Structure 1
Amino acid sequence: MNEKLLTIASGIALAGTSLYWRRRERIVTKSLTATRDWEANATGETDRAVGRAAREAADHLDAGVEDLPERVRAVDEERRDLRRELDTVRERWADALWRARSDTDAGDADDGGRGDPSVFVVEFEHGELPDARAFAKRAIEDEAITLVAAHGDDSFAVAVGEELSEVFSAEDIADELADEVGGGAGGTDRLAAGGGATGALGDGCRRVRERLFQSDAVHAA
C-alpha cells in the first residue's frame, strides 16, 4: 500500500512539474516569436509597431535591441532544451501514472490480474495532446485498448496492444471517436491520436468503449 501511495504521489508531483515546464516553454516561445519578428524586419524599414515589439522583446529578455539577433539564437536553444526536459518529465509522469493505475486495477480485479483483454478510458481534465500521446505510448505495452481523453485542448489518443492490433486498428478506433465527438485523427494500428473535439469527449470515449467491449473479438483475443 505504501509503495502504491508513493507511486501515485510521484505521478502527481511529476504532473505538476510538467505543467511548470509547459508554462515556461510558452513564455520562451512567445519571446522567440517577438524577437524573430523583429529580426525579419531589422534589415528593412522598421515601423513603429515593429520597433515597439523589439523593445518589448528586449525588455523581456533583459537585453539591448541591438543584441536581439544573438538572443534569438540563445532563446531558441533554451526552448529546445525545455522541450527535451518536458518530454523527459512527461515520460516519467506517464510511467508513474501507468504503474499506479496498473497496481490499482490488479488489486481490484477478481482474478487478481490483468489476464483478460479489456477496453479502458482514461481522462485528464487539464491534459493536452502531448500528455495523451505520452500515456497512450505507455499503454500499448498492455494487452488492452486504451482511450485517452485530454480535456485541456479537446484531444485524444488511442493505444492498442500488440495481439489486439491484429484485429483492431488504433487509427480506425480514433476515426470512430472523431466521428463521435468531432475533429480529426490519424496514426497507426498500435497508436493514434486526434484533436479538435467539439462534443463531449469523455462521453464519446465511453460510447466507443462500450461498442468495443461488446465485440466478441475483444474477448477472443
Structure 2
Amino acid sequence: MNTAKLVALGAAFAIAVTNGYWWRRLRTVESGLETSHEWDQRAVTNDADRDVVDSRQMSLLNRAAEKADTTPEDLPETVEMLDEKRRELRTNVKKLRTEWVSSYWEALTRSSIETDRPHVVTIDLGRSTYDDARAFANHAQDADREVVVAVARSDDTFAVGVSEDLTERFGVSADDIATTIATEEDGNAGGTAAFAGGSVPDADRLCDRVDGYCPDLHSQPAG
C-alpha cells in the first residue's frame, strides 16, 4: 500500500476517533435531560408537592450532572449544547465522508511513490484543522527521505515536515518551505528544519498551488 493510500485511510481513522468522543459524551448526559424534564414537570403540575423533590430523581440528576462535568442547574443547557454539537457533527460527517471517498479514489489512481528516493507528499486534508495537518507532517520525521506538506481548509492552515535524512544530507528545511509558502500566499509561518506550520488567507487557493512551492527532489540520488 503506497503513502497516498495510507494518508486517505489515516484521515478516515482520525475522523472516526473525533466523532466517537462526542457521541459517547452525549449519551452519558441524555438520561440527565430526561430526568431534569421530569423534575420540572413535577414542580409545575403538582402544587401540593412543589417543594418536595423525589430523592431518587435527584440522585439520578446529580449523577448525570457529574458525568457531564456540570451542575444539576446547568445540565439542560449542557445537554442542549452537546445535542447541537451532535447535529453539527452529523453534518460534518456527511461532508467528510464525501471528501474521504474522493481522496480515496484519487489515491487509487495516483502513481506510486518510489519511497527509496527522496520524495514529496502533498496532502489536501479537506475540511480538517491544523491539528490534523500537524499530525501528517510529523509523520515525515519517522520516514527516511520524505517531505510532507499538508493543507487544512477548515482553518486555512498548513504544516510541513521534513525527515532528518533530507535535512542533514541535502539541506532541505521545513521552515524554508513554510516561509516560501507564507510569503507567496500572504500568510504567516515559522518553525524548525524538521517541522514548520503556518496560516494563509485562502487554503483553497493554496491547495491548487502547493506543489509549486515544494523542492525538486527527483534529481537526488537514491544511495
TM-score under structure 1 normalisation?
Answer: 0.52
Check 1:125–1:19 CA distance in 2 against 1; reply closer, same or farther (3 A cut). farther
CA contact 2:119–2:218 (8 Å) conserved in 1: no
SS of 1:63 mapped into structure 2: coil
Deviation at 1:155, TM superposition (A): 0.3
Check 1:116–1:13 CA distance in 2 against 1; reply closer, same or farther (3 A cut). closer
Deviation at 1:156, TM superposition (A): 0.4
RMSD: 4.1
Alignment partner of 2:176 out of 154, 164, 172: 172
| Matched residue type, 2:167 | S
Check 1:220–1:15 CA distance in 2 against 1; reply closer, same or farther (3 A cut). same
Distance 1:176 1:7 in 2: 24
Number of paired residues? 144
| Matched residue type, 2:216 | F
Corresponding residue number in structure 2 for 1:63: 72
Distance 1:138 1:155 in 2: 17
Distance 2:184 2:221 in 1: 24
Distance 1:145 1:204 in 2: 16
| Matched residue type, 1:16 | A
Distance 1:7 1:192 in 2: 19
Deviation at 1:163, TM superposition (A): 1.6
Distance 1:172 1:7 in 2: 24
CA contact 2:185–2:201 (8 Å) conserved in 1: yes
| Matched residue type, 1:156 | F
- 1:68-147 counterparts in 2 under 5 A? 109=112, 113-142=114-143, 143-147=145-149
Distance 1:148 1:119 in 2: 11
For residues 99-158 of structure 1, what are the alpha-carbon distances to aligned partners after superposition, in whole Å with 9 as ceiling and x for unaligned?
xx9xx79x9548xx5111111211100111111111111122221111111111110000
Alignment partner of 2:216 out of 213, 217, 220: 213
Check 1:179–1:16 CA distance in 2 against 1; reply closer, same or farther (3 A cut). same
| Matched residue type, 2:12 | I
Deviates more, 1:13-22 or 1:180-189: 13-22
Check 1:22–1:172 CA distance in 2 against 1; reply closer, same or farther (3 A cut). farther
SS of 2:123 mapped into structure 1: strand
Distance 1:131 1:164 in 2: 23
CA contact 2:119–2:217 (8 Å) conserved in 1: no
SS of 1:12 mapped into structure 2: helix
SS of 1:213 mapped into structure 2: coil
Distance 2:70 2:206 in 1: 39
Corresponding residue number in structure 2 for 1:161: 163
> Please, which runs of 5 or more residues in structure 1 have no aligned partner?
26-59, 66-100
> Please, which runs of 5 or more residues in structure 2 have no aligned partner?
26-68, 75-103
| Matched residue type, 1:160 | V
CA contact 1:144–1:160 (8 Å) conserved in 2: yes
Distance 1:121 1:6 in 2: 13
